[in-house]
Structure 1
Amino acid sequence: MRTEQPKMIYLKDYQAPDYLIDETHLTFELFEDQTLVHAQLVMRRNPAASSGLSPASLPPLMLDGQELELLSLALDDRELSTGEYQLTDSHLTLQPSAANFVIDSSVRINPQSNTALEGLYKSSGMFCTQCEAEGFRKITYYLDRPDVMSTFTTTLSAPQHDYPILLSNGNPIASGSEDDGRHWATWEDPFKKPAYLFALVAGDLWCVEDSFTTMNNRDVALRIYVEPENIDKCQHAMDSLKKSMKWDEDVYGREYDLDIFMIVAVNDFNMGAMENKGLNIFNSSCVLAKAETATDAAHQRVEAVVAHEYFHNWSGNRVTCRDWFQLSLKEGFTVFRDAEFSADMHSRTVKRIEDVAYLRTHQFAEDAGPMAHPVRPDAFMEISNFYTLTVYEKGSEVVRMIRTLVGAEGFRKGSDLYFDRHDGQAVTCDDFIRAMEEANGIDLTQFKRWYSQAGTPRLDVSESYDAAANSYRLQFRQSCPATPGQAQKLPFVIPVELALMDGQGRELPLQLVGEDAAVGLSRVLQITEAEQAFTFVNLTEQPLPSLLRGFSAPIKLSFPYSRDQLMFLMQYDNDGFNRWEAGQQLSVQMLQELIGQHQRGESLVLDQRLIEAFRTLLADDALDQAMIAEMLSLPGEAYLTQISEVADVVAIHAAREFARQQLADALFDLLWQRYQNNRKDSRNSDYVAQAEHFARRSLQNIALSYLMLSEKAEVLTACLEQFENADNMTERLAALAVLVNSPFEAEKAAALSSFAENFKDNPLVMDQWFSVQAACSLPGALQRVEQLMQHPAFTLKNPNKIRALIGAFAEQNLQGFHQADGSGYRFLADQVITLNALNPQIAARLLAPLTRWAKYASARQAQMKAELQRILASGELSSDVYEVVSKSLVD
């Protein structure tokens, strides 16, 4: 823990390292009570940092190190005395005597007591590592920064009976047994990498094996290591890996480079997964999946995360980031790549809807809060706090906009140039942009403001039609609200894909003033000025614009659509995303009307046009069932909160529940028919993790969620039948969720009890059991959560449990969390204070709901700020928690 105020680190202060590490040789002696780490670093003066200095002018060497016990230190085989080096809590400093030298050190560390899950730690009896961003300094003294790249040779030694599997990066080159029951293995990674990509695993693991033949006919061994009880849950991840490898060859021309690719599933993990070179370490929730224990969403997440980490082999490993300010260089690019992969594997439209809904609900809230920062931050106290939705999801949207501007072929040319030019290098976002510019002959100077300016741009659009001239004019006005440290924003480059539709729903040819002919039926306009207008000609009637198709830019767009126009777009727009978007806008307008009625004490009256729009959807047998399910999903309470000037949690919940009840009552017969047909298909077919089956189950389950509002006996019977007889977790969990949120107390209690009994030995399924109850908006939510924290399956030492119970309550249960007496805020603050000492990363991430105090009325603001103040005054805060709390208290 740090007792002093953490210091701010600035991008503008970046300097190249004074020294480089060409070779890293590590030996780990793993014991139950300690681990000994012996490191040999072959080092040299960095030519890029020594310009203008004489060879004799060697600066001190400062190595990073935390929580290490130094046992020995040698320079060029000469043991150093304590007077020849300086040791602090965070650094080891010594003076090299030549431009080329070798450092040998031995340290003692204690993985068994490492609850922060950074560096080397133990999970379920297994040794494993997590070194991104700055965890390697908890393993040995090193230049722990991404622009220092080295080859690694790693030897592990451990008791063979307890740790029969010994893994590290690269290819295995030697192994053997020792007389005392121990054994050893040596791994060599021939590709230079920064320390954050180092990995080590030692444990009693079983393995699923397969192989992949690359486009150049190289055979790669594929292995997924898990604990023995999970060996039957790996096939989906293996299939996903092989699909990912093939896709990356087909779409990007990228071939895997080692002889072996390994994945290890770990129960205790702060993040989703880690792309360590050749040895990916995964949160078990992102690799284990089979029908009986994992939902459709979990199957899709496993596929996406496996792809994401594999794609990092090029966009992150072979080409890595120069410094942590450039984090989106690898993460934003790779999120874009995995999103495109998922779109190609399933429904492109549904994938886009899911991604945009998540972005607008969560990343837009981050942009509007005290932790708002650019895609490429210019300063931070603790880098762990910047593994954010802005860096990942918004960073992906920035890459997507580049692809929109240059086209698919131009984007491939730019990515080829980027990978070929910078292979084996640590580079910047500017290097990525430069490759795109040079490959396509364009200037992206103004576009780069997306990397340096924080906040969500707003685009207000107005129209005018000149019947005499047959011309139609669209006027665009862009702005971006002030964010911390950035009061004024310069205009962005905003690509707006659009079409114009006639009264029959047909797309019209698009011809701008000054053009000789129409250019297609859909096109991309580039908005580059604060105010900009475009005039289309040869239009014999006033068109209806379909704007921001496919969500072509991560912005808030405003156009004065009437409700009838939105219903028209829901029915006729051939851009699937915009059909969904029209429905969302229609729902938002009507929900906001209901919210106003509730606040004024009026009787709630739902506009019947929403019911008729949903009726049309349910009656459309030609429409993809996944699209129907998405369009039947009303905007969530978190999104309605995010778009409110001052969020009224009670009114939002009341309005949304009233609308759901009205829809359920009016559409019962159609919903019941859809449910019965799809449930019949489910009963008559085996589980398949494919898009068509996902679609059927998603519509079946959203229909059930509406139907249960009727409280009819036949629906309860159907729900219980689904819960008891489903052959897959998607249907079983959906039935449990609607039961938990229903008034059927006896059935609810019985279902929860039987679910827990059946899955008590499966930690991931129990996480879902926790989440379903934590998200229940019925009265008594906080008391239920506090009681569940005493359950034997819950522990504060496991991040998945924390997210499943405490995180679900604070993020998803707005009714329970925002109780008028402030009890939800006090509860969350208590957990943050406790976790600050155990796992600072998780503590800091839990804080997000409290940081959004400015969105609420004065009473709740005061309560939330008081809890932030209490955290700040609670004692020795980690830099992770201190940064979030201190920034959140700045008015």
Structure 2
Amino acid sequence: MKTEHAPTIRRIDYQPLAWTVQSVDLHFTLDAKATVVRNRMHCERRGAGPLVLMAEGLTRVSLTVDGVEVVETALRETDTGLEIDLGERDTALVEVVTQINPSANTELSGLYHSGGGLYTQCEAEGFRRITCFPDRPDVMARFTVTLEADMAAFPVLLSNGNLVDSGDLDGGRHFAIWEDPFPKPSYLFALVAGDLEVLERTEKTRSGREVLLQVWVEDGNLDRADHAMDSLVHSMRWDEKTFGLELDLDRYMIVAVSDFNMGAMENKGLNIFNAKFVLAKPDTATDVDYEHIESVVAHEYFHNWTGNRVTCQDWFQLTLKEGLTVFRDQQFSADMLAAAGGESARAVKRIEDVRVLRTAQFPEDAGPMAHPIRPDQYQAIDNFYTATVYEKGAEVIRMLHTLLGAEGFRNGMDLYFSYHDGQAVTCDDFVEAMSEANGVDLDQFMRWYSQRGTPRLLAEGRYDAAARQYTLTLTQQRPDGDEALHMPVALGLIGPDGADLPLMLAGDTAASPTTRVVELKDTTTTLVFEGVAAEPVPSLLRGFSAPVILELAEDDRRLAFRMAHDSDPFNRWDAAQRFMVRVVLAMTVDAAKGVLPQVPDAFITAFGALLHNEKLDAAYRAVALTLPAEAYLLEQMTPADPVALRRALIVLMRSIGERLGDSWLGLDARLSVAGEYRYHPTDAGRRALRNLGQRYLCAAGVAKGVERALARATGDAHMTDRFGALAALVHSPASAEAATALADFERRFAKDALVMDKWFAIQAGAWRWIDSAEPALARIEALMSHPAFSLSNPNKIYALFGAYFRANPAEFHRADGAGYRFWADRIRDLNKRNPQVASRMARVLENWRRFTPAQQALAREQIEALVGEKDLSPDVREVLEKALGKTD
């Protein structure tokens, strides 16, 4: 069983187990409170040593080897399970019978009870909570699963692979037998038993095989499954076309469940999803919800090859499947958006991905939980499902794609699958396949897998008018002085007229491109561009070609120029972000001194120019005119002062709403989308820009803006318009209108759990626009008693507590420390119920040292109090001890 202080697991200590499992037959007698599991494993020796079985939180009823009960002298109990001495034999049939109580499983890991049904979550180490098994990703076996249950309680019985038999039994019971023809690790096992409805579709694969696609949902939700099904079909077609990868089973199933720790899980052929990433219809889901569903469905489907057919040797290789698959789902979404909305939609997708990276991963890289995309050690593997492993891991894969080109990357993928299909492998195996397929040396590139922290790229340019040369010097700065990285830097030069200049280097014989990818391999690289007639403006790191922090001296005039002329849409957005950051931070300095911050006229002029540029589509203008996230802004401050930052942001939003009010009001009418709702990037972009305008108008208290927002929030609008208007009112000084809109929203959706999560989150993240307004903490404490809230549902916890802790820093980091005390109490409670969720909430304060000295003292007091408690789970303890610097 788990101990309070979990041992540190190190990558260099990896050793294969002495015994592996060739095939496993599982028989489940399902019951909500007493499920019996009979597990027959056909084991083979592959080295010296005992058979190692992991087990946690279950009752072992019997254990036999080759039909004979195991004697006590051959059995050893360990912290993680048990070891069996099997003597000199080379094969063994091991049968273990266990009993578990799914209803008591509040951790939602293993087999658990939710909403009348039974579901599993086995990644990373949940299968050992079901039965005794060598629960490691490098143990791959073929599974045959028999499910037996009461037909009235559990009319639907699902597991991995293909259904080979089913039927009725005596006493109102029934059974189903599932066979997965492909070897898989135990973390990919899945089981579902419940009263579910199904949406079905039959499709033909590229090779002509007919496959059955199913989306299973709880009763009453069938009308919300169509978009998930469409997304699944689109994912199949894209993977066939882009990578030549075809669905390999007779059927593919998605199941939506209300209680789930993660977003979704790629179990072979039976994906179990958090319902929020499946269910959508215009009345209940926003454009963002539709986008996320398409992305997550694609992500889990793509795992069928990048994660299932080829899996991880050990959990240190987690980014092998996750970083690669995030990159694949990002490319898929970008292609889907571009096909419907043009290349600008692709650029918006890239911007959104980088915003997530900068907001979530960069702070992680700068804090005590910083780790390489392939960690060297861990205590609780659940703590390493991180933005670094996923999002930064995807950026590392993207760099390979940039360096090798689309064709070279595809060749590398083909070789990877030809070598490793059906195997558990390492990140080295993947990069070696890329290297061999393209005949390039990627040894230096592998440093991205071992270096933690965010590198900085220092850029300095010098123009020589007489020589008509522009010299650009690029310098890498790595955390901890690590070795130089192999880094692709896409760059361009913009002439005084706003047009890109040809990039001619000495020795060029072909026509010079206007965007060039330079491969940096040294700490310092100097480039000399020739034939430059006038001093240019550099446009560096186009498309965000490497996950680094760019340091380049640019004054306000140059940023405004790039906002207006940079041909690279990402860099154009980035110029606007840099200008916004500069303005906000300067205003925050004044706010901290008690001085009313002033918004520079130059900023409003540049902002307005972007707003009025009709050559840019609405979706692009919406992302370009959205202020940087508070979390990202706080990372730019030393020390971080959330209260002063919030004061500055309120002044800035009011100023944008007031000084550009007529423009926003005019756009509001012109951006209306006629006809019934459809999820389409062009329509979504128009709605996004209109909703952004509402935010600024309501922030400024513009009467017409508030009036329109209230009408949409309480009228007959679809959810994108309704929730956009509600958010505009809640994030404004219009408290009476906000209260009316919130009450109307609750009345309409009180019985819809997913929609109510939006209602909880918007209130938890609400700012105080006037000093007399109710503090967020009082509101949150009251909402904990709301009938729609539940401490057993992760979505509710993330919506209410997560939004307060992460999305409302000025209210959470209170001067009296009440926010920290509330946080500590929630960690104590969640630690007992669900350590995975508790550890995610614990990470909110991992960067506590970034804040003001007074806030640091208050935060440290609560962290130390928690660490001193004896019953803290290993998941939470690891996070908090690292936050205090007590572990490496």
Range into which the TM-score falls when normalised by the shorter chain: over 0.9
Q: Retained in 2: the 8 A contact 1:816–1:824? A: yes
1:415, distance to aligned residue in structure 2 (A): 0.7
Deviation of residue 251 (structure 1)? 0.5
Distance verdict in 2 for CA 1:603–1:110, change over 3 Å: closer
Q: What is aligned with 2:602? A: 609
Per-residue Cα deviation, 1:297-344 (whole angstroms, up to 9, x for no partner): 111000000000000000000000100000000000000000001101
- Aligned twin of 2:508: 515
SS of aligned partner of 1:519: coil
Kept in 2: contact 1:781–1:816 (CA 8 A): yes
How many angstroms does 1:368 deviate by? 0.5
**Count of residues in Structure 1 that have an aligned counterpart in Structure 2:** 873
1:562 aligns with 2:584: no
CA distance in 1 between partners of 2:596 and 2:26 (Å):
71
Which residue of structure 1 aligns with residue 121 of structure 2?
A: 130
Deviation at 1:750, TM superposition (A): 2.3
Which residue of the partner structure matches residue 718 of structure 1? 708
Instruction: Check if 1:864 corresponds to 2:846.
Output: no
Name 1:702's counterpart in structure 2: 692
Q: Distance in 1 between matches of 2:21 and 2:733?
A: 64
User: Which residue identity lines up with residue 657 of structure 2 in the other structure?
Assistant: A
Find the counterpart in structure 1 of residue 381 from structure 2.
383
Amino acid at match of 1:634: L
Corresponding position: 1:167 with 2:158:
yes
Whether 1:13 aligns to 2:24 is no
Aligned twin of 1:485: none
Instruction: Name the stretch that deviates more: 748-757 or 197-206.
Output: 748-757
Alpha-carbon RMSD: 1.3
* 1:224 partner letter: V
* Residues 59-74 of structure 1: pairs in structure 2 closer than 5 A: 59-74=49-64
Q: Distance in 2 between matches of 1:618 and 1:846?
A: 37
Residue 634 of structure 2 is aligned to residue 641 of structure 1 = yes
- Distance in 2 between the 1:93 and 1:242 partners? 45
Find the residue that maps to 2:671 and give its secondary structure: helix
1:309 partnered with 2:304 = no
Pick from 100, 108, 126 the counterpart of residue 91 of structure 2.
100
CA offsets 1:585-630 (integer angstroms, 9 cap, x no match): 1111111221222234444221111111122122222211001111
2:749 to 744, 749, 759: 759
Match of 1:114 among 105, 113, 122: 105
Structure 1 residue 712: Cα displacement: 3.4
Counterpart of 2:139 in structure 1 is 148
1:449 and 1:398 mapped to 2: Cα distance? 10
Query: What CA distance in whole angstroms lies between the structure 1 residues aligned with 2:496 and 2:731?
Result: 43
Task: Decide whether the 8 Å contact of 1:511 with 1:517 is kept in 2.
Answer: no
Aligned equivalents of 1:431, 1:41: Cα separation in 2: 29
Alignment partners' CA distance in 2, 1:119 and 1:618: 51
Change (3 A) 1:203 1:495: same
User: What is the rounded CA distance, in whole Å, between the counterparts of 1:123 and 1:602 in structure 2?
Assistant: 53
CA distance in 2, matches of 1:597, 1:862: 24
1:799 is matched with which residue? 794
Instruction: Give the structure 1 partner of residue 838 of structure 2.
Output: 843
Alignment of 1:584-603 (within 5 A): 584-603=577-596
TM normalised by structure 1 equals 0.97
Residue in structure 1 matched with residue 187 of structure 2 by the alignment: 196
d(CA) in 1 for partners of 2:736, 2:195:
43
Q: Secondary structure at the match of 1:40?
A: strand
Deviation at 1:141, TM superposition (A): 0.5
Kindly indicate whether residue 491 of structure 2 is the aligned counterpart of residue 501 of structure 1: no
What code does the residue aligned with 1:170 have? G
Task: State the match for 1:53 in structure 2.
Answer: none
Are 2:452 and 1:454 equivalent residues in the alignment?
A: yes
Q: TM-score, normalised by structure 2?
A: 0.97
Alignment match, 2:529: 536
- The residue type equivalent to 1:700 in the other structure is R
Q: Secondary structure at the match of 2:407?
A: helix
Q: State how 1:327-338 maps to structure 2 within 5 Å.
A: 327-338=318-329
Q: Kindly state the Cα deviation for residue 68 of structure 1 after the two structures are TM-superposed.
A: 1.6
Q: Distance in 1 between matches of 2:253 and 2:660?
A: 50
The 8 Å contact of residues 274 and 280 in structure 1, kept in 2 or not, is answered as yes
- 1:3 Cα offset (Å): 4.9
C-alpha contact 1:42 1:101 (8 A) present in aligned 2:
yes
**SS of aligned partner of 1:191:** coil
* Mean Cα deviation higher: 293-302 or 80-89: 80-89
User: Does the CA-based 8 Å contact 1:510-1:522 persist in structure 2?
Assistant: yes
SS at match of 1:370: coil
Query: Secondary structure at 2:170's aligned position in 1?
Result: coil
Alignment of 1:313-392 (within 5 A): 313-346=304-337, 347-392=345-390
Residue in structure 2 matched with residue 782 of structure 1 by the alignment:
777
Alpha-carbon distance in 2 for matches of 1:668, 1:585: 24
Letter in structure 2 aligned against 1:813? N
Whether the 8 Å contact between 2:195 and 2:218 is mirrored in structure 1 is: yes
Q: Tell me the residue number matched to 2:576.
A: 583
Q: Is residue 4–residue 870 contact of structure 2 (8 Å, CA) maintained in 1?
A: no
Q: 1:814 to 1:783 in 2, by over 3 A?
A: same
Superimposed CA distance per residue, residues 859-887 of structure 1 (whole angstroms, 9 cap, x where no aligned partner): 11111111111111122111100110111
Q: Distance in 1 between the 2:122 and 2:222 partners?
A: 26
Equivalent-residue separation in structure 2 for 1:704 and 1:676 (angstroms): 11
Letter in 1 for 2:365: D
Cα distance between partner residues in 1 of 2:396 and 2:650 = 36
Between stretches 288-297 and 610-619, larger displacement belongs to: 610-619
Q: CA-to-partner distance for each residue in 1:657-696, whole Å, 9 max, x for gaps?
A: 11111111111111001112223x3xx3110111011101
Of 92-101 and 102-111, more deviation after overlay is shown by 92-101
2:562 paired with 1:572: no
1:657 and 1:528 map into 2 onto residues whose CA distance is 44
Partner of 1:43: 43
The answer to whether the 8 A contact 1:65-1:89 is kept is: no
Aligned partner letter, 2:700:
S
Q: Which amino acid in the other structure matches residue 490 of structure 1?
A: E
SS at match of 1:72: strand
Are positions 1:214 and 2:205 aligned together? yes
| Aligned mates of 2:709, 2:625 — CA distance in 1 | 19
Residue 820 (structure 2) aligns with? 825
Structure-2 change in CA distance of 1:64 and 1:224 (3 Å): same
Unaligned runs of at least 5 residues, structure 2: 338-344, 769-773
Structure 1 residues 804, 38: CA separation in 2 closer, same or farther (over 3 Å shift)? same
The 3-state SS of whatever aligns with 1:665 is helix
SS at structure 1 position matched to 2:146 = strand
Q: Distance in 1 between matches of 2:374 and 2:309?
A: 21
For the Cα contact (< 8 Å) 1:3–1:877, is it kept in 2?
A: no
1:23 aligns with 2:14: no
Q: Which residue of 2 aligns with 1:733?
A: 723
Structure 1 residues 407 and 497, CA gap change in structure 2 (3 angstroms): same
CA distance in 2, matches of 1:626, 1:753: 30
Q: Give the conservation status (yes or no) of the 8 Å contact 1:687–1:727.
A: no
2:874 maps to 1:879: yes
1:2–1:876 Cα contact (<8 Å) kept: no
Q: Which residue of 1 aligns with 2:342?
A: none
In structure 1, the partner of 2:442 is 444
- Answer with 117-126 or 512-521: which moved more: 512-521
When structure 1 is superposed on structure 2, of 718-727 and 173-182 the one drifting more is 718-727
Q: In structure 2, what is the Cα distance between the partners aligned to 1:565 and 1:33?
A: 67
Checking the alignment, whether the CA contact within 8 Å between 2:18 and 2:49 is kept in structure 1 is yes
Task: Please give the secondary structure, in 1, of the residue aligned with 2:182.
Answer: strand
The aligned residue for residue 409 of structure 2 is 411
Do residues 548 (structure 1) and 541 (structure 2) align?
yes
Q: Is the 8 A contact 1:2 1:877 kept in 2?
A: no
How much identity, in percent, do the aligned residues show?
48
Matched AA of 2:876: V
Query: Which secondary structure does the structure 2 equivalent of 1:557 belong to?
Result: strand
Q: Deviations over 1:47-79 (max 9, x none)?
A: xxx3xxxxxxx4211210111211111111112
Does the 8 Å contact 2:32/2:101 carry over to 1?
Answer: no
Measured in 2, the distance between the counterparts of 1:480 and 1:827 equals: 37
Give the letter aligned to residue 202 of structure 2.
Answer: S
Q: Which moved more, 1:258-267 or 1:28-37?
A: 28-37
Secondary structure of 1:664's partner? helix
Contact between 2:471 and 2:528, CA under 8 Å: does it hold in 1?
yes
| Residue 54 (structure 1) aligns with | none
Tell me which amino acid in the other structure corresponds to 1:22.
Q
